[in-house]
């Protein structure tokens, strides 16, 4: 079996919902049960990729080999591709200096390091207590980083700069906007940010006759804001479909060979969910 990490880079608000909730926010974004980390379910990503390949592949047999047969024929053979959940990697947060910063934490980087191929020696910044480590001093003011209403002691860090060098060519290959805004905050601060720094919109439905808000049709909807970064993993084995010969590399290339802009999650008709899906090449290899 072979793996291929990928990034989701949100270009518009991304709502991967869980349905109605008995909370202040009526339609919250999906979060992992144990950690509370926002994520996009792998089943949702799989459905999008399958639909796209159906529309573009010249031979539907390869779609069935990679993604598995239709529901009515599920017992024929297993699909050759497994798609994991895309977990939060960095969250854009309003900053006093630099407009905004991409905030992540040692925990999120440690989880990403497990998924990235060839990052075994990538250093994780150490942050004792509350604080931040930045790849660049662009967002630092008077030795502090100001995110939303938070005031964090901050300093430049070689470890944060090393991560910025890995991620920047994927997120903004033709600009240095990412490295200037990449920051690593302590895990407790990051937990607070992914709970409170998401985008929450009030939505309404109008009555067709009166053109006013319909009774009971006012709700709050949570989304991950534009510029959010998530990381996921594709895992492939050989094709098990009779008459289709594909090795693991062929399966991965069929599913996602190069960067694509796709729509994920709900509310597509209102512009939600437009994302870049970026395969991560092995470290040391050039982007194709």
Number of other residues whose CB lies within 10 A of the CB of residue 266:
17
Q: What is the predicted pLDDT for the residue at 158?
A: 95
- pLDDT over 70 (residue 251): yes
User: Would residue 175 count as lying in a domain?
Assistant: yes
Residue 110 domain flag: yes
Which residue do the tokens 């200037």 mark?
180
Contact 264, 44 (CB under 8 A): yes
Q: For residue range 145-181, list pLDDT tens digits in order.
A: 999 999 999 999 999 999 999 999 999 988 889 999 9
Lowest mean pLDDT among 2-6, 38-42, 117-121, 190-194: 117-121
- Structure confidence at residue 209 (pLDDT): 81
DSSP H stretches of helix in 128-244 = 158-171, 187-196
Is residue 136 included in any domain, yes or no? yes
Rounded distance between C-alpha atoms, residue 238 and residue 80, angstroms: 6
Residue 169 lies in a domain: yes
139 located within any domain: yes
In whole angstroms, what is the distance from residue 137 CA to residue 154 CA? 9
Domain that holds residue 178: 92-197
Domain count, the chain: 1
Statement: residue 51 has pLDDT above 60: yes
27: left (phi over 0), alpha (psi -120 to 50) or beta: beta
Whole-prediction pTM? 0.91
Is residue 151 included in any domain, yes or no?
Answer: yes
**Does residue 228 surpass a pLDDT of 90?**
yes
pLDDT at 23 over 60: yes
Ramachandran assignment for 166, one of left (phi > 0), alpha (psi -120 to 50 degrees), beta (any other)? alpha
Is residue 158 situated within a structural domain?
yes
Whether 21 is covered by a domain: the verdict is no
Please provide the size of the chain in residues: 288
Residue of higher predicted confidence among 170 and 118: 170
């Amino acid at each position: 079996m072979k793996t291929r990490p990928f990034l989701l880079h949100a270009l518009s608000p991304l709502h991967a919902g869980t349905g109605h909730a008995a909370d202040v926010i009526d339609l919250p974004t999906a979060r992992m049960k144990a950690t509370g980390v926002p994520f996009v379910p792998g089943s949702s990503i799989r459905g999008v990729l399958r639909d796209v390949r159906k529309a573009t592949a010249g031979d539907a047999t390869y779609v069935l080999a990679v993604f598995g047969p239709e529901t009515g024929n599920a017992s024929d053979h297993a699909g050759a591709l497994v798609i994991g959940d895309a977990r939060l990697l960095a969250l854009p947060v309003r900053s006093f200096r630099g407009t905004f910063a991409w905030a992540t934490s040692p925990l999120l980087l440690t989880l990403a390091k497990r998924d990235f191929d060839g990052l075994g020696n990538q250093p994780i910044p150490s942050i004792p207590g509350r604080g931040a480590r930045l790849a660049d001093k662009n967002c630092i003011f008077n030795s502090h980083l100001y995110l939303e209403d938070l005031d964090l002691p901050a300093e430049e860090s070689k470890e944060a700069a090393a991560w910025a060098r890995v991620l920047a060519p994927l997120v903004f290959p033709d600009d240095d906007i990412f490295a200037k805004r990449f920051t690593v905050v302590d895990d407790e601060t990051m937990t607070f940010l992914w709970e409170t720094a998401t985008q929450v919109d009030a939505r309404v439905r109008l009555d067709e006759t009166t053109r006013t808000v319909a009774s009971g049709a006012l709700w709050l909807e949570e989304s991950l804001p534009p510029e959010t970064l998530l990381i996921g993993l594709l895992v492939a084995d050989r094709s098990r479909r009779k008459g289709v010969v594909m090795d693991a590399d062929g399966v991965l290339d069929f599913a996602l060979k190069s960067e694509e802009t796709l729509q994920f999650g709900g509310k597509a008709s209102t512009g939600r969910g437009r994302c870049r899906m970026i395969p991560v090449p092995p470290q040391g290899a050039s982007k194709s």
